[in-house]
Amino acid sequence: MTSDFLVIGGGIAGLSFAIRAAAHGSVTLVCKGELPDSNTAWAQGGIASVLPEGLRDPGDSVDLHVADTLDAGAGLCREDVVRAIVGEGATTIDELVAHGAEFDRDGGGYDLHKEGGHSKRRILHSLDTTGREIANSLIDKARATPGLTILEHHFAIDLITTGKLGAVTEDRVLGAYVLESETGEVKVLRSDRVVLATGGCGKVYLYTTNPDSATGDGVAMAWRAGASVANMEFIQFHPTCFYNPGATGPEARSFLVSEAVRGEGAVLINDRGEDFVKRSDPRGSLAPRDIVARAIDREIKRTGKPCVYLDATRKPPGFFREQFPYIHDKLLDFGLDAEKQPIPVVPAAHYQCGGVVTDIDGKTTVRGLYAIGEVACTGLHGANRLASNSLLEGNVLARRALDHLLHHHPPGKASPEAPSIPDWSHGDTTPPDELVVIYHNWDELRRLMWDYVSIVRTDKRLRRAGTRLKNLRKEVREFYWGHRVNADILELRNLVAVASLVVDCAIRRRESRGLHHTLDYPHLDDRFAKDTILRRF
C-alpha cells in the first residue's frame, strides 16, 4: 500500500496534519487502537493562546506568553521556537473552530482560564473535557475528508529506511511495517513522507494520567531507525492525580484532576489543612508543575501520609459542579463530593518534554521522517512544559511540517531509486503459557521506573534501573524475535527502549533542572545548560 503521506498517530497533531495534507496527495493515517484513544482526547484543561486584541485578557501579549514558557522551561527552551509556536496561537484556535471545535464563551468572547505558570488568563477550554471536544471535531472532519484513509487497530512495528535495507547512500525513510491487530497480518505501508504523531510514554511508569496507548512507540521506532533523541530525562509529573487506592480499573487509578481547578482557586493542603506549597514557592498551588510536584513528593515523604489534598470547598456552592462537571461527576462516582470534601491527590507521570529531535518544522535527522506533537523535541518545552502549551504545539507543528514537506519534497517529485522492501518475517506462534512473561516484565518495568526514576532521583537508583533494564532488553529481544508479534509484545519492546533512553539521559545530566531533580546534584550547573542528545552510530 503506497501513499504520498503516511501519518502514524491520531491525536491533534496527526489528525491536523492528515486533514490538511489530503488536499495535496493521498494520505494514510494509522493508529493502533481507535481514534478517540489518544492523549489529546484525555486532555482536560485546555489550549493556551494569546487571542487578538479585544478577546484576550487585558495586558496579555505574545511576549508575556513567551516569557512564561521560557520561565517554566528552566533555561532549555529555544526562544525562536517558543516565539514561533506561541505566535501562531490565534491561527490555531481559528483552525480548530473551523473544524467544528467549540470553546466556552463569556459574553462576546471566550471564557479564559488561568493555570500554573501563566501570568494571565489565556487557556481556552470546553468545560473540563477540552481534549475530547478537539479530538471529536477533528475525527469527524478526518472521516469526511476525501483522499484520507484511516486504518484503526493497526500497530506500526518499525520504520523502513534505506539504511536498514543496506543502502550506503543518505539514509531516508521508505515507510513502515504495520501489524493489523485483528488478523495478525503485517503489511508494508510505503511512503517517502512519514510523520510520527504517536504521543508520549506515560505508561512507562506505574502511575500515570495517560491512556494505555501511551507506550512511547514513536520515540522507540525513530531511535531504532537512527533518529536522534533528546531530553528524555524531563518527564513531567502532573501534581494532581486522584488518589483512590481502593478503586479498581485503569480509569480509577489514573484519573486526572485538571490544573484548571487550581487556576480557579483550589489550594493544595496537607492533612492538617496547611498550604504547604508556599514553603517552596510564593506562587503556591499556581507555581509551575515541576515545583508543585516536588513539593507534594517532599510533603508526602515528610509526613509519611499517602497523599495530599486539593481543597475546592472554599468556592461558592455550585461553582465546582458548574465549572468542572466531568471531574465533579467522576469524583461522585467514587463517593467524593468535591464541593464538600478536599480531593486526595498524588503526582503521576503525565508528559514527556523530550523526544525525537526536530527543527521548528518537525524535520528529524532521518530524511523524509517528521515528528510532531508530544513525540517530538522541538525546543518549546525545555526542561518543563508550561501547562496547556502541548495542544497548541501539536497543531502548529502539523501546519509547519506540511508546509516544509510541500516546499522541499512535494508529492509527484521524483525520489531517488529505493531498494525493494522485503515482506515481514514472522517468528513462531507464541505459546499461550509464555504470555505471562510479557505481563511480568511489563509490571516490573513500570515499578522499577516509578521507584528509581521518578520525581526525585539519585545516581545509585539510576544505575540500578539501568542494570535491570539491560537485562529486560535482552529478555524482550529474545521474546520478540522468537515469537509471532502481537500488540502486547510490541508495546513492551517499545516501553523498554524508551525507559532505557530516559535513564541514559538522566545519568548524563549531573545537575537539577526543571523536571530532573537529583539529590546527588541538587543545584543548577551552567555546564549542563544544553540539551541531552543521544545519537546512534
List CB contacts of 74: < 8 A, sequence separation 6 or more: 290, 382, 383, 384, 513, 514, 524
Q: Label residue 264 exposed, middle or buried (CB < 10 Å: 0-12, 13-18, 19+).
A: middle
Number of residues assigned to the chain: 537
Calpha distance 237→361 (Å, rounded): 27
> What does DSSP assign to residue 271?
T
Rounded to the nearest 5 percent, the helix, strand and coil shares of the chain are 40, 20, 45
Pairing mode, strands 229-230 and 355-357: antiparallel
Is there a contact between 255 and 265 (Cβ–Cβ < 8 Å)? no
The span from the first CA to the last CA of the chain, in angstroms, equals: 31
Q: At what angle do helices 459-482 and 435-452 cross, to 10 degrees?
A: 160
Closest to 225 in 3D by CA, of 158, 154, 157, 156: 158
Closest to 176 in 3D by CA, of 162, 188, 165: 188
Is there a contact between 270 and 305 (Cβ–Cβ < 8 Å)? yes
Closest to 425 in 3D by CA, of 177, 193, 237: 177
For residue 175, what is its C-alpha cell?
A: 515507510
Pairing mode, strands 194-196 and 369-371: parallel
The runs of H, that is alpha helices, within 22-114 are 39-42, 62-72, 79-87, 89-98
Closest to 380 in 3D by CA, of 399, 403, 355, 405: 355
Calpha distance 489→275 (Å, rounded): 45
Residue 289 annotated among the catalytic residues of the structure? yes
Q: Label residue 152 exposed, middle or buried (CB < 10 Å: 0-12, 13-18, 19+).
A: middle
Calpha distance 186→198 (Å, rounded): 19
Closest to 516 in 3D by CA, of 352, 380, 378, 373: 352
Catalytic residue among 78, 289, 294, 509: 289
Is there a contact between 402 and 363 (Cβ–Cβ < 8 Å)? no
For residue 303, what is its C-alpha cell?
A: 509526613
Element (H, E) at 236: strand 235-242
Calpha distance 103→125 (Å, rounded): 5
Element (H, E) at 406: helix 390-408
Q: Which residues carry out catalysis?
A: 289
